[in-house]
Structure 1
Amino acid sequence: MTDQILVLRLAGPLQSWGVRGGFAEYRDTVDHPTRSGVLGFLGCALGLPRGSAPGDLAELDLAVRVDRPGTPMEDYHTIGGQSLSEVVPSADGSRRRGAFLTRRAYRADAAYTVALTGPAALLHNLCDALDQPTYIPYLGRRACPPSAPYNLGIHPAGVDTVFTTAPLDRTAPRKKDTVTVDVIATVNPGDPAATHILNDNPLGQRRFTQRSLARTTLTLPADLCTGDNPTERYEKLHNYRYIKTN
């Protein structure tokens, strides 16, 4: 039977895919979408309560193609009620007691293509939910909304085929016929191909287990690139979802 893949395009001004829980002084991000972050994105579309167990979403596997890695950046925040001793400036010019200073990391102007595999009925249910989400999905943090379109639909192909045919959300390089991108996929624990481990497999209530991943490279034709013209980019993404070719 032919595989079915739900394809997402995760792009936006800011993204943040943290793997450290709680209100730490430094809120990190890795350089690609995490499993917990992507399942949270889908949970928003389904209307799942924040922090709930993944349920049927635990049956999904995902692989990520890094179309644009983006630029790392940090922002400064204060969080009230986390410290009994800190006194810090507030927005109105006064000083506020009981605030906690934090720095938060983001990826600016990044774009990823995510291939989701799992039961066909679940994938189709998710595809419908993404078209009419209960809550607005976000890219790791609620302050990071996704650019449209983020649902590239169901495709009857394997992950390798998706990653070699889906539009590449970047500008084509000058005087080059090919583009090299990274691909991150789940592998079995102990697999010698593993390149890193993330604590990003959600159990609910902010509890996680580890996942082994392998990062490889993929060389693609430059004509897959969407370019920087918004109209042309949208047309290529729209055609990929709705106009099937043999």
Structure 2
Amino acid sequence: MPSSTYIRLAGPLQSWAGLAVSGNFVRTEPRPTLSALRGLLAASLGAKRGQWPTWIDDVHFTLREDKTPKYVDDFHTIGDREDEFTFRRRLAIMQQMKATSVKQLKFTPAVGATSISRRTYLAESEFIVRATLEGHTEEIDQAFASPVFSVYLGRKAFPATFPFYLGTGPAEMLSLIPALAPNASNKATVRIFEPSLGSGVSPESMSVPAVATRTDWLKGIKELSLHRHSTIQR
């Protein structure tokens, strides 16, 4: 069996490309999507948009939800943009450009008045991700251990908190990584998702070790002796 690479996606806020109800209302998905996980790996590899290695599509991602997502709303007021567009049009004419060539601003449904923009995010969520592809373990591990581009949780304003990279190990390590559950005894129940199967497939439940503090969690990770990039035999 090939080894898997494990990462942790956690932070104050996350946002995972939900459908836009309108130009002013965008919801996040309840967990990272398959395309988001592939994009995260591509960014870590340093692959630019449209230049991803083809093998990324073959990576198998398994997602463990350690904390049930909580949704928070972010509201912004947007003023009338007609004056700004008029200014840009006049500026284009002064520069001897065709006014019609100026990229028109994206107006809100409340053009001529103030509108409200609403975004929903995930708050205090935590996911453990297992990435597996035989023959590419070293590349995946190196990418997540030392990302070329900055990694973030769906938006550039949402960086991942430490630790992001956990290391490599066998597939069954997913059930051994502890979950932070202050109110649990020795065990906690988490949900396991397979993003490649789509959102219509029900998750499985898994019992994992539970710890009360982040210090104990870090100690538990250390005791698992996950192979980190510098210790992998080449």
Per the alignment, in what secondary structure is the counterpart of residue 102 of structure 1? Answer: strand
Contact 2:33–2:195 (CA<8 Å) still a contact in 1? Answer: no
Q: How many residues in Structure 1 have an aligned counterpart in Structure 2?
A: 202
Q: 1:213 offset after TM fit, Å?
A: 3.5
Q: 1:31 offset after TM fit, Å?
A: 1.7
Out of 162, 172, 178, the position equivalent to 1:167 is 178
Q: 1:49 offset after TM fit, Å?
A: 2.3
Indicate the residue corresponding to 2:148 in structure 1: 134
Gaps of at least 5 residues in structure 2 are 82-104
Q: 1:71 offset after TM fit, Å?
A: 1.4
Out of 154, 157, 164, the position equivalent to 1:143 is 157
Q: 1:54 offset after TM fit, Å?
A: 6.3
Gaps of at least 5 residues in structure 1 are 90-99, 189-196, 199-211
2:188 counterpart letter in structure 1? V
Indicate the residue corresponding to 2:98 in structure 1: none
Deviation digits for residues 196-240 of structure 1 (CA, Å, limit 9, x no counterpart)? x44xxxxxxxxxxxxx633121223xxx234334x4433333443
Q: 1:10 offset after TM fit, Å?
A: 0.8
Indicate the residue corresponding to 2:166 in structure 1: 152
Deviation digits for residues 70-124 of structure 1 (CA, Å, limit 9, x no counterpart)? 31111124678310762566xxxxxxxxxx7532111111101111121332x32
Indicate the residue corresponding to 2:132 in structure 1: 117
Indicate the residue corresponding to 1:83 in structure 2: 107
Indicate the residue corresponding to 2:213 in structure 1: 228
1:227 counterpart letter in structure 2? A
Indicate the residue corresponding to 2:221 in structure 1: 237
Contact 1:62–1:114 (CA<8 Å) still a contact in 2? Answer: yes
Q: TM-score, normalised by structure 2?
A: 0.73
Contact 1:67–1:181 (CA<8 Å) still a contact in 2? Answer: yes
Indicate the residue corresponding to 2:91 in structure 1: none
Contact 2:186–2:211 (CA<8 Å) still a contact in 1? Answer: no
Q: 1:41 offset after TM fit, Å?
A: 1.3
CA 1:134–1:19 in structure 2 vs 1: closer, same or farther (change >3 Å)? same
CA 1:187–1:42 in structure 2 vs 1: closer, same or farther (change >3 Å)? closer
Deviation digits for residues 13-56 of structure 1 (CA, Å, limit 9, x no counterpart)? 11111232798322221222111111111121112224655632
Indicate the residue corresponding to 2:86 in structure 1: none
Indicate the residue corresponding to 1:209 in structure 2: none
Bigger Rg, which one? 2
Contact 2:141–2:167 (CA<8 Å) still a contact in 1? Answer: yes
CA 1:52–1:187 in structure 2 vs 1: closer, same or farther (change >3 Å)? closer
Contact 2:63–2:195 (CA<8 Å) still a contact in 1? Answer: no
Indicate the residue corresponding to 2:122 in structure 1: 107
- Partners in 2 of 1:184 and 1:228 — Cα distance? 25
Per the alignment, in what secondary structure is the counterpart of residue 72 of structure 1? Answer: strand
Which protein, 1 or 2, shows the higher relative CO under an 8 Å CA cutoff with sep ≥ 6?
2
CA 1:22–1:43 in structure 2 vs 1: closer, same or farther (change >3 Å)? farther
Q: Once the two structures are aligned, what percentage of the paired residues are identical?
A: 23
2:125 counterpart letter in structure 1? A
- Partners in 2 of 1:233 and 1:178 — Cα distance? 13
Contact 2:42–2:52 (CA<8 Å) still a contact in 1? Answer: no
Indicate the residue corresponding to 2:84 in structure 1: none
1:163 counterpart letter in structure 2? L
Q: TM-score, normalised by structure 1?
A: 0.70
Contact 2:20–2:27 (CA<8 Å) still a contact in 1? Answer: no
